[in-house]
């Protein structure tokens, strides 16, 4: 069972940066409970040092978001709503809607995606106490779950409660620590984690908060360790701009039409989830200012639209992807910078 009292030592209040202490005192908890919280029969949580913020524990999940949802940036709230109400719900086949929207399901690509995801392992320390997984989602893929193997604990942080309920089942209560939190205000103490990863997340964070999110990942990671961010270069990838030029013109026209004719709240149901990609030079600038090295390595040099239109089962699709894998293995840095998706790796300097 999770020892929530001991966990207080690694947590901090995201609003005030103060230390937290665990409490089961109903007289302390009661003033902070809304009518909805009363109905959930809350019995424990964390109070900050000044006694101004209380964070409940629900179903084994530590809720360290601001107490009022309006505090979240509008675009971040939209992302939260998308995954809470749709993305992390399953369809009639048991598949997450997120996967159906963003991953092409073709036999030819299965081995390719498995191989590219496993490249993350090279950036993780051989063993450690805490692996931080920010915007973890439900951690439903076995190859993703395996990244926890050499760590005592996997700290799963996500905006959505629904994802963490799934993650708690998939990672296991003994292995995981599950926190509902904001990537731009991580509720963890400095230098805690042996590695930090954020998979396909940062480009969904509001443009003006992405730098704060990167700096938070760096802050909570131990010196000498890596922060690994899986990032989508989108229109900054010259390779995909060339190969997908007709597709991108058509999709840009559709996005403009949807922006002009559909409300922001409705757009995410048609694939309009908030998205803003910075170029590689943006990460290099942060690394330079922080005195840290930053490198790029290929996750997948091709976009899912490339797979959709150019890779087909039974028509040489598997052979084409094997060829692309060889190119990515031979030119990981070049394709990491100029392909579709990259591992952006910050090495946290021991002298910081």
User: pLDDT, tens digit, for every residue of 334-347?
Assistant: 999 999 999 999 99
The answer to whether residues 193 and 331 belong to one domain is: yes
- 305 occurs within a structural domain: yes
Q: How many domains does the chain have?
A: 2
Range of the domain at 26: 4-58
The answer to whether residues 336 and 204 belong to one domain is: yes
Q: What is the pTM of this model?
A: 0.89
Mean pLDDT, the chain, integer: 88
- 69 occurs within a structural domain: no
The answer to whether residues 30 and 156 belong to one domain is: no
The answer to whether residues 22 and 157 belong to one domain is: no
Return the CATH number at 221. Answer: 3.40.50.150
Q: Which residue has the tokens 């995410």?
A: 268
The answer to whether residues 105 and 208 belong to one domain is: yes
The answer on pLDDT for 98 being more than 70 is yes
The answer on pLDDT for 156 being more than 50 is yes
The answer to whether residues 45 and 133 belong to one domain is: no
- 10 occurs within a structural domain: yes
- 254 occurs within a structural domain: no
The answer to whether residues 11 and 78 belong to one domain is: no
- 66 occurs within a structural domain: no
The answer to whether residues 299 and 176 belong to one domain is: yes
Which of these ranges, 37-51, 144-158, 197-211, has the smallest mean pLDDT?
A: 37-51
């Amino acid at each position: 069972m999770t020892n929530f009292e001991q966990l207080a030592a690694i947590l901090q209040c995201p609003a005030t940066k103060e230390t937290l202490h665990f409490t089961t005192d109903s007289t302390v908890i009661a003033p902070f409970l809304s009518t909805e919280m009363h109905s959930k029969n809350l019995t424990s949580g964390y109070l900050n040092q000044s006694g101004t913020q209380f964070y409940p524990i629900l179903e084994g999940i530590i809720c360290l978001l601001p107490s009022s949802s309006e505090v979240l940036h509008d675009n971040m709230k939209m992302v939260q709503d998308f995954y809470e109400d749709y993305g992390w719900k399953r369809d009639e086949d048991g598949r997450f809607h997120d996967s159906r929207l963003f991953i092409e399901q073709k036999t030819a690509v299965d081995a390719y995606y498995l191989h590219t995801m496993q490249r993350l392992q090279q950036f993780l320390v051989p063993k450690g106490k805490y692996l931080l997984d920010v915007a973890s989602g439900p951690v439903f893929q076995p190859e993703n779950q395996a990244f926890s193997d050499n760590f005592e604990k996997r700290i799963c942080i996500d905006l959505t409660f629904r994802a963490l309920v799934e993650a708690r089942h998939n990672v296991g209560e003994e292995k995981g620590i599950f926190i509902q939190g904001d990537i731009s205000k991580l509720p963890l103490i400095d230098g805690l984690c042996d590695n930090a990863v954020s998979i396909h997340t940062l480009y969904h964070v509001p443009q003006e908060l992405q730098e704060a999110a990167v700096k938070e990942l760096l802050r909570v990671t131990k010196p000498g360790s890596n922060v690994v961010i899986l990032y989508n270069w989108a229109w900054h990838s010259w390779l995909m701009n060339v190969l997908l030029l007709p597709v991108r013109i058509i999709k840009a026209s559709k996005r403009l039409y949807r922006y002009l004719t559909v409300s922001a709240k409705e757009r995410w149901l048609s694939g309009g989830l908030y998205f803003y990609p910075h170029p590689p030079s943006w990460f290099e600038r942060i690394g330079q200012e922080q005195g840290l090295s930053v490198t790029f390595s290929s996750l997948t040099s091709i976009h899912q639209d490339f797979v959709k239109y150019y890779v087909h089962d039974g028509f040489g699709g598997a052979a084409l992807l094997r060829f692309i894998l060889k190119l990515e293995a031979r030119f990981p840095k070049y394709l990491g910078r100029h392909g579709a998706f990259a591992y952006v790796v910050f090495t946290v300097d021991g002298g910081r």
